[in-house]
Amino acid sequence: MRVRIRYEKGDEQRFLGHLEVRRALVMALARAGWPVAMTKGYTPRPKVEMVAPLPVGTAGLNEVADVYLSESRSLEDLGRSLGEAMPPGFKLKEVWRISPDESTLETRITASTYRVLVYGAEDAPLKRALECFLGKDEAKFHREAREQARETRESHDTREKNRQIDLKLFVRRIEVVTSAPPALRIVLRHFEGRTVRPAWVLEFLVKHCGLEGVDPRESVVDREWLDWGDGGSHGS
Amino acid sequence: MKRKASVRQLREHDEEIVSWKELRRHLNKVTKPARYTGGELNAVRKDPSSVSVRFALVFPDVYEVGMSHLGSQIIYHVLNSRDDTACERAYSPWPDMEELSRARGWPLFTLESRSPLNSFDIIGFSLAYELTYTNVLAALDLGGLPLFSTERDERDPLVIAGGPVSMAAEPLAEFIDAFALGDGEDLAGEIVDCYKKWRASRRPRLELLESLAGIEGVYVPSLYDVKHSDEGLLVEVRPKAGAPGRVRRRIFSDLEKAPYPERPVVPFLEPVHDRAMVEIFRGCTRGCRFCQAGTLYRPVRERKPETVSRIARKILAASGYDEVSLVSLSSADYLPIREVIEDVLTRSPCPARVSLPSLRVDSFSVELSKLLGGGLTLAPEAGSQRMRDVINKNVTEEDVMDAAKAAFSWGFTRIKLYFMIGLPGETDQDVLAIADLAYRIRQLGRDMGTKPTIAVSVSGFVPKSHTAFQWEPFVGRDEIERRQSLLAKHLRGPGLEFRYHDSRQTYLEAILSRGDRRLGRVVYHAYRRGARFDSWPDMLDLDLWLSCMKEASLEPGFYTRERGQDEILPWDHLDPGVTKGFLLLERARARRAEKTPDCREAPCPGCGVCPRFGVAPVLAGRDGTSKGAGDRAR
């Protein structure tokens, strides 16, 4: 049996990394008594597939993971037991059954919607920076080599090529939604599992669009929802 | 005086916690920010206004290390079980976080309520190793407290410290108001009670310290005047104000009745030991002469197997861990170990593995390792039989080879071996015997048709207080390095790996662990000049420490030298229960390479703990209450 869960990685747990979130979920599943299937191989691991990992510092209001079970259970039981077992700062929002043959969700995600609280900027200069960004044909962003090397297993050449990303390809929408401090809503595309981070867009605005007084590391980023193919979209 | 004013200022804003909004905005600038955000499963958050005593438990190392420390989890549980007390946790900030904190004006705060340390009633440090001393000072300073005990007044928190290092922590004597010696299960609560009574009386701070000194197991260093001779030798330790001449370590005599954290705090960040821990017994009877824990946790007190299994099931259900470690100083000595392992493996609420942190060198332990899965580590501690007899590691050549044979026949191909070098009376021949042993084990593996890897790990011996070797000299950093390279030259070849401990750390540990009160100035200056996390090889700046010693006109050699048997040692006024006479006897036996048998099996060797402290070994799996000699077949 394969089930998909939708959960919240809350504000106060935003600083957990992807692996820590996975560990927290696996331990919650154990406390909930879910009969989680194990992977085959020398060191079997619980079969839990995380989707579109969030970086350290980002909260997620509607995150998704797939869990494979070794035996069938009623969705009601599963939802209740895991709901009670979620650790502080996490909330289970939905559990539903999906076909075991369904292809992995990771490559089918089409977009992430973020809300980004920008400290240090007034509304007007922020809006001007956005106009500047939207007016550009391309927005080349250089990832830190160190960061990239850590995260990918690509060959040296591929890595060099991928270090330079055109943010414009990824940004589907960007707008100012609240003020004092202003918040941005940014919709970022995913291509076959590849996407960019809102903090990179902010960094670009600072470096190339005249946005002053902003330290991108100080932005507070929440992912509000994920969209994926077949019209599936979860979140409010 | 200037510093004190700033502390006062901070205290006026006691109620001000570091706001989440502020923290959230800036934490992305540091590595592993989740070290500072708390909110873990089973963490206890109490409303400060609902309790009368607020206790901050501080582990002076990074979060992932502190969260693996069982003693802290026990004290956290004991204190939070009291309705009148809220115990919160804090850990040392990594240098990037310290820098950010100073830049933002954040004090060191607890994870539960993000309150600054100086807003608490009591600060309790957990001292697990000596190389955390500068972190203790950093925590006090960042927490807004005066560093020196004498600078604190009635408005400042009481600063205490516990853990094994407290039994010889004279270098911290000027910074810590009171040390809690021995088991904390009862002692922690008694200290809280004493504090409450004093606070209600509105008497001067000195009276708090005096009444604390009246509690068995509490050592108040400021109530002892120490005098040194011109040569630096300790000539007198004189108690004042009715403080006892010697402070006895506390012993919680029956672990069956001990409170245990069955709902431990489960960190989100992976701790260094990522598993549930059940203490199966406290104390060890093996009597290894180098081992301080072997003295400081006597007598052996076992939990009943059914209690161990019950605790394991409860922790697993409350945590979701997939592994339980059956913790003790020598877990294979626990007679019902097999039945407990089987019980945990078959009756756990969720599938779980079992691990044992400390195994003996024998085929039984190898068999257990196989049963549990994972790697195999054996600790013969010394290469030659003579050296093993000197240190009273009751392991024969035959035991080692039997264990290795069992390992290869059970399918292990990689064996890790732990040794020490620089032991008292060690010759180059003894050092080379380590290589020789590794060769012979590798050959045995090859003869048995495997392709073995023997990973030899070597650390430098540091003479520790309260052991038979407390008088022995530290062989010196250069000598440790010479012996390391001697071994490295001989431990080459396919299927052999060699690792050794950083000799700089060994050296600093050798200075601090038998240090006296005068070293406090050195710790202070090292802290002021930036020393932090000295137990992290990349962080240690030994030259800084040595120059601080020079400035204080103290010689490292004075601390690493052999001590005279009639000398007053800086920890002599702290009574572990084991008599000095027994330690001297053991030292003499060591010099004759004579063994002392395990008190589980042989007649009482007379260490002194049981008759002097009115306790007895508690061995489970028989009548469960008292020990008998010689009938523990294995």
B21 and B60 in a common domain? yes
Q: Do A38 and A19 share a domain, yes or no?
A: yes
Same domain, yes or no: A119 and A227? yes
Q: Across the interface, which of A28, A88, A217 has its CB nearest the CB of B320? A: A28
pLDDT band for B357, please (50, 70, 90 cuts).
Answer: confident
The verdict on A26 touching B (C-beta cutoff 8 Å) is: yes
The answer to whether the beta carbons of residues B439 and B383 sit under 8 Å apart is no
Does B354 lie in the same domain as B286? yes
Dist CA A203 CA A190 (whole Å): 19
Mean pLDDT calculated for residue range B394-421: 93
- Residue labelled with tokens 């054996």: B378
In A, minimum Cα distance to B30 occurs at A217
Give residue B238's pLDDT.
97
Q: Are residues A74 and A96 in the same domain?
A: yes
Residues of B in contact with A19 (CB under 8 A): 270
Q: Report which DSSP code applies to B630.
A: S
If phi > 0 it is left, if psi is from -120 to 50 it is alpha, else beta; for residue A186 that is: beta
Number of H helices, E strands in chain A: 7, 11
Residue B37 at interface with chain A, using a CB cutoff of 8 Å: yes
Cβ of A102: how many Cβ atoms within 10 Å?
12
B27/A16 touch (CB, cutoff 8 Å), yes or no? no
Q: Is A89 on the interface with B (CB under 8 A)?
A: yes
Range of the domain at A8: 2-102
Please report the beta strands in A69-131, taking only residues with DSSP state E, as ranges in sequence order: 90-98, 109-117
Q: Can you tell me the ipTM of this complex?
A: 0.91
Q: Are A8 and A42 part of one and the same domain?
A: yes
Residues 6+ apart with CB under 8 A from B318: A31, B42, B262, B263, B264
Question: Quick check: A11 contacting B, CB < 8 Å?
Answer: yes
SS3 B450: coil
CATH at B394 = 3.30.750.200
- Residue B9's pLDDT band, with cuts at 50, 70 and 90, is very low
Contacts of B63 in chain A (CB under 8 A): none
Range of weakest confidence among B10-24, B233-247, B356-370, B409-423: B10-24
Tell me which chain A residues have a C-beta less than 8 angstroms from the C-beta of B322.
30
**B584 and B610 share a domain?**
no
What φ, ψ does residue A22 adopt, rounded to 5°? -60, -45
Closest-approach residue (CA) in chain A for B270: A20
- For B33, nearest residue in chain A (alpha carbons): A15
Q: Do B268 and A85 touch (CB under 8 A)?
A: no
Please give the single-letter amino acid code of residue A133: F
Check CB contact under 8 Å for B37 and A13.
yes
User: How distant is the Cα of A29 from the closest Cα of chain B, in angstroms?
Assistant: 8
- Domain co-membership, A171 together with A90: no
Residue at B434 is within a domain:
yes
Q: Which structure tokens are listed for A158?
A: 């591929």
Model confidence at B629, in pLDDT bands (50, 70, 90)?
A: very low
Positions of chain A with pLDDT lower than 70, given as ranges:
144-162, 230-236
Please check whether residues A82 and A120 belong to one and the same domain. no
- Strand A220-228 to A109-117 pairing: antiparallel
Confidence of residue B602 (pLDDT cuts 50, 70, 90): confident
Residue B131 vs residues A45, B33, B136, B536: alpha-carbon distances, Å = 37, 24, 10, 9
Domain for residue B266, yes or no? no
Q: Is residue B52 part of a domain?
A: yes
Cα–Cα distance for residue pair A184/B214, rounded to 1 Å: 62
| The two three-digit tokens of residue A75, written as one number | 């969705």
What's the CATH number where B174 sits? 3.40.50.2300
- With contacts defined as CB-CB under 8 Å, which chain B residues touch A89? 39
pLDDT at residue B13 tops 60: no
**Residue B299, preceding peptide bond in cis (omega within 30° of 0):** yes
Which pLDDT belongs to residue B7? 38
Q: How far apart are CA B579 and CA B157, in angstroms?
A: 35
Q: Do A87 and B40 touch (CB under 8 A)?
A: yes
Domain boundary among A102, A117, A133: A102
Per-residue pLDDT, B373: 80
A96 and A158, same domain (yes or no): no
Question: Which of residues A102, A124, A150 is at a domain's end?
Answer: A102
Neighbours of A155 (CB within 10 A): 9
User: What residues in A contact B318, CB-CB < 8 Å?
Assistant: 31
The domain boundary residue, chosen from A102, A134, A151:
A102
Q: Is residue A215 left, alpha or beta, with left meaning phi > 0 and alpha meaning psi from -120 to 50?
A: beta
- In 3-state terms, what secondary structure has residue B259? coil
Whether residue B312 has pLDDT greater than 70: yes
Whether B24 sits inside 8 A of A14 (CB atoms) is: yes
Structural domains counted in chain A: 2
- Three-class SS state of A174: strand
Q: How much of chain B exceeds pLDDT 70, in percent?
A: 95
Please name the member of B268, B269, B317 whose beta carbon is closest to the beta carbon of A31: B317
B419 phi/psi in degrees, rounded to 5:
-135, 165
Contacts of B266 in chain A (CB under 8 A): 27, 87
A62 and A146 both lie in a single domain:
no
Can you tell me whether residue B263 is helix, strand or coil? coil
Domain membership of residue B363 (yes or no) is no
Do B333 and B400 lie in one domain? The reply is no
**pLDDT of A75:** 97
Asked if residue B337 and residue B220 are part of one domain, the reply reads no
Average pLDDT over residues B476-488: 97
Q: Minimal CA–CA distance to B185: which of B89, B87, B86, B76? A: B76
Q: Which residues of B touch A56 (CB under 8 A)?
A: 28, 33-34
Which tens digit of pLDDT belongs to each residue from B542-559?
Answer: 999 999 999 999 999 999
Query: Cβ atoms within 10 A of the Cβ of B557, count?
Result: 11
Q: For residues B615 and A82, give the distance between their C-alpha atoms in angstroms, rounded to a whole number.
A: 47
pLDDT at B624 over 70: no
Instruction: Give the lowest-confidence range in B131-145, B371-385, B490-504.
Output: B371-385
Distance of CA B437 to the CA centre of its chain: 30
CB atoms A31 and B350 under 8 Å? yes
Backbone angles phi, psi at B600, to 5 degrees: -70, -35
CB-defined contacts A:B, below 8 A: 72
CB contact at 8 A, A227 and A190: no
Q: Which of B24, B34, B318 sits opposite A16 (nearest CB)?
A: B34
Q: How many other C-beta atoms are found inside a 10 Å radius of the C-beta of residue B589?
A: 18
Nearest CA-CA distance, residue B107 and chain A, Å:
20
Chain A residues in contact with B33 (beta carbon < 8 A): 15, 56-57
Best A15, A16, A22 member to test B by mutation, with max B CBs in 10 Å, is: A15
Residue B411 pLDDT > 50: yes
Instruction: Answer whether B268 sits within 8 Å of A16, measured CB to CB.
Output: yes
**How confident is residue B118, by pLDDT bands cut at 50, 70 and 90?**
very high
Residues B281, B170 share a domain: no
- A62 and A8 in a single domain? The answer is yes
Q: Which tokens hold the place of B422?
A: 């620089």
* Whether residue A185 sits in one domain with residue A155: yes
Instruction: Tell me the pLDDT tens digit for each residue of A174-223.
Output: 999 988 889 999 999 999 889 999 999 999 999 999 999 999 999 999 99
Residue B350 in contact with partner chain A when CB distance is under 8 A = yes
> Chain A window 160-219: which residues touch B at a Cβ cutoff of 8 Å?
217-218
Classify residue B404: in a domain, yes or no: yes
The larger pLDDT score, comparing residue B45 to residue A233, is at B45
Residue B91 lies in a domain: yes
CA distance A229 to chain B (A): 32
Shared domain check, B462 and B605: no
Angle of CA points B179, B182, B186, to nearest 5°: 95
- Chain A residue whose CA is closest to B111: A12
How high is the pLDDT of residue B620? 82
Query: Is residue B486 included in any domain, yes or no?
Result: yes
Query: According to the model, what pLDDT value does residue B359 have?
Result: 83
Q: Which residues contact B379 (CB under 8 A, 6 or more apart)?
A: B358, B359, B361, B417, B418, B419
Interface of B with A in 308-337 (CB under 8 A): 316-322
- Cβ of A20 and B349 within 8 Å? no
- B297 and B408 share a domain? no
The answer to whether the Cβ–Cβ distance between B349 and A17 falls below 8 Å is: no
Residues B632, B497, single domain; the answer is: no
User: Domain tally for chain B?
Assistant: 3
**Residue B599 pLDDT:** 87
B223 interfacial to chain A (CB closer than 8 Å): no
First-to-last C-alpha distance (Å) of chain B: 64
Phi, psi of B3 (to 5 degrees): -60, -40
Question: Which CATH number covers residue A55?
Answer: 3.30.70.580
- B377 located within any domain: yes
Put simply, whether B25 touches A (Cβ < 8 Å) is yes
B196 CB burial (10 A radius; 0-12, 13-18, 19+): middle
A43 and A151 belong to one structural domain: no
Residue whose entry in the numeric block shows the structure tokens 């093993």? B388
- Which chain B positions have a beta carbon within 8 Å of A27's beta carbon? 41, 266, 319-321
Segments in B357-499 forming alpha helices (H): 363-372, 385-390, 397-409, 428-447, 477-490
Pair (B386, B503) in one structural domain? yes
Both A213 and A146 in one domain: the answer is yes
Residue where a domain stops, chosen among B213, B248, B283: B248
Which range of residues forms the domain containing residue B177?
2-248
Same domain, B451 and B477: yes
